[in-house]
């Protein structure tokens, strides 16, 4: 009977997740080869399920050691061996639940909210850990991981909406691996349960709010650190033209931490790089031939009909941005750049400055994303049901 109830709950849970995206599965410690750790409830109580059904109940007075042994998940307390299994689920049963994870070979302890799923990795001899978590708890963790705890509350609301939109837009990114998103930067950084109550409040105050375009589709909610005074158009970086990701003059970020940068490169290496990308040797003989100035954001470093995308130069030389000038200085060239990041969408440092000077999160959002709309997830589901 219990097994039937559990199966029904899981099926219902999955349907609920698909329809309303209230629960997400996040691959934590992604790409880490974890073979043992300590599980310790921080708040609430947990029921432990395996493929055989319910195993036991634990609370914050309990510690469990989880180990990978002979392609099995073994569970032990200090005084009892509970056996070996193929799948383990820690399901929170209180109103609010969180747990600590301490890797055996690390002193660091991480805290996560809601539930933990442990699977055996399909191809390698280590665990796959999945944080099964309410989306607003996840979003709060992402916001703190991405921007820290220092920005004003109004900015936290904005970042929560952007992170929620980004997460739902990319919700199937790791579907083939058995979860929705991972905890790395390419999905959005997600380090742990947030410490800031302001961030938790911001996530709850903007609950279910996402950003959509004129076709009622979730936008590509890109963001980065600093635009250096002007944002980039989407097609300049990713070739896809999106009407709401246009160039915006931004004076708010000009005096922030990541507004400017410099890098010194050997002139010989720089000239060799240009020649390897098609620049004629003869065009680089004179001192001024290595000078280059961007009057505004440009797409190509260009000379005599030879073009190198600035985004490629940024990647090849590990630069903070693709917006820079080049000036010769003795046996070196000096790259003087603006901004930090790809430059498309929300400039975080500019948006934080706007929030500090009294702009609302709605005003800030429309400053960086043109002609978009904020909508509730239930309304989004309603509109999409008509198609």
Q: How many angstroms separate the CA atoms of 349 and 250, rounded?
A: 10
| Rg from Cα positions in the chain | 25
Q: How many angstroms separate the CA atoms of 308 and 302, rounded?
A: 7
- Over 60: is that where the pLDDT of 11 sits? no
* pLDDT in the model for residue 19: 43
Contact criterion met (CB below 8 Å) for 349 and 253: yes
* pLDDT in the model for residue 286: 62
DSSP 218: B
Residue 236 lies in a domain: no
Which domain covers residue 318, as residue numbers? 260-338
Q: What angle do CA 381, 382, 384 make, to 5 degrees?
A: 65
Q: What is the pLDDT of residues 63-95, one digit of tens each?
A: 999 999 989 999 999 999 999 999 999 999 999
Residue 304 lies in a domain: yes
* pLDDT in the model for residue 384: 66
Q: How many angstroms separate the CA atoms of 30 and 153, rounded?
A: 30
What is the DSSP code string of 279-300? --GGGG-SGGGG-B--SS--SE
Residue 32 lies in a domain: yes
Residue 19 lies in a domain: no
Average predicted confidence (pLDDT) for the chain: 89
Dmax (CA) for the chain in angstroms is 84
Residue 104 lies in a domain: yes
Last residue of a domain, one of 303, 323, 338: 338
| Of residues 192, 184, 186, 191, the one with CA closest to residue 31 | 184
Residue 323 lies in a domain: yes
Q: Which alpha helices (DSSP H) does the chain contain, by range?
A: 2-20, 135-147, 153-169, 197-205, 234-238, 267-276, 310-317, 348-356, 361-368, 377-385
pTM for the structure as a whole:
0.85
Q: What is the pLDDT of residues 197-214, one digit of tens each?
A: 999 999 999 999 999 999
Q: What is the pLDDT of residues 303-332, one digit of tens each?
A: 777 889 999 999 999 999 999 999 999 889
Last residue of a domain, one of 75, 104, 133: 133
Give the chain's end-to-end CA distance (angstroms, integer). Answer: 40
Q: What is the pLDDT of residues 122-148, one digit of tens each?
A: 666 889 999 999 999 999 999 999 999
As for how many domains the chain has, the answer is 2
Q: How many angstroms separate the CA atoms of 127 and 369, rounded?
A: 40
Residue 180 lies in a domain: no
Residue 383 lies in a domain: no
Last residue of a domain, one of 133, 155, 188: 133
């Amino acid at each position: 009977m219990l097994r039937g109830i559990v199966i029904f709950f899981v099926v219902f849970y999955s349907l609920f997740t698909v329809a309303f995206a209230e629960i997400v599965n996040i691959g934590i410690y992604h790409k880490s080869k974890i073979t043992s750790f300590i599980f310790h409830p921080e708040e609430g109580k947990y029921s432990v399920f395996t493929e055989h059904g319910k195993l036991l109940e634990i609370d914050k007075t309990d510690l469990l050691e989880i180990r990978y042994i002979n392609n099995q998940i073994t569970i032990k307390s200090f005084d009892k061996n509970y056996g070996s299994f193929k799948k383990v689920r820690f399901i929170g049963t209180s109103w609010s639940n969180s747990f600590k994870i301490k890797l055996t070979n690390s002193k660091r302890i991480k805290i996560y909210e809601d539930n933990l799923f442990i699977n055996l990795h399909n191809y390698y001899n280590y665990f796959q850990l999945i944080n099964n978590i309410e989306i607003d708890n996840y979003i709060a963790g992402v916001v703190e991981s991405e921007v820290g705890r220092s920005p004003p509350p109004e900015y936290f609301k904005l970042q929560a909406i952007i992170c929620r939109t980004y997460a739902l837009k990319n919700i199937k990114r790791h579907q083939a691996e058995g979860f929705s998103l991972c905890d790395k930067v390419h999905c959005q950084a997600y380090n742990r349960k947030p410490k800031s109550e302001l961030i938790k409040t911001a996530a709850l105050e903007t609950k279910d709010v996402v950003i959509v375009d004129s076709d009622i589709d979730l936008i590509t909610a890109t963001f980065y650190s600093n635009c250096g005074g002007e944002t980039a158009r989407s097609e300049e970086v990713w070739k896809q033209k999106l009407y709401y990701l246009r160039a915006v003059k931004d004076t708010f970020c000009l005096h922030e931490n990541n507004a400017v940068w410099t890098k010194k490169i050997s002139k010989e290496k720089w000239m060799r790089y240009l020649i390897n990308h098609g620049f004629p040797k003869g065009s680089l003989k004179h001192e001024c031939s290595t000078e280059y100035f961007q009057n505004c954001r440009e797409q190509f470093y260009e000379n005599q009909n030879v073009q190198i995308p600035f985004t490629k130069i940024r990647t090849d030389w590990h630069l903070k941005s693709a917006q820079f000038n080049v000036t010769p200085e003795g046996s070196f060239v000096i790259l003087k750049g603006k901004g930090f990041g790809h430059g498309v969408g929300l400039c975080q440092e500019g948006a934080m400055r706007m929030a500090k000077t009294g702009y609302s999160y709605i005003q800030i959002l429309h400053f960086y994303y043109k002609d978009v709309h904020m909508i509730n997830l239930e309304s989004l589901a309603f509109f999409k049901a008509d198609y």
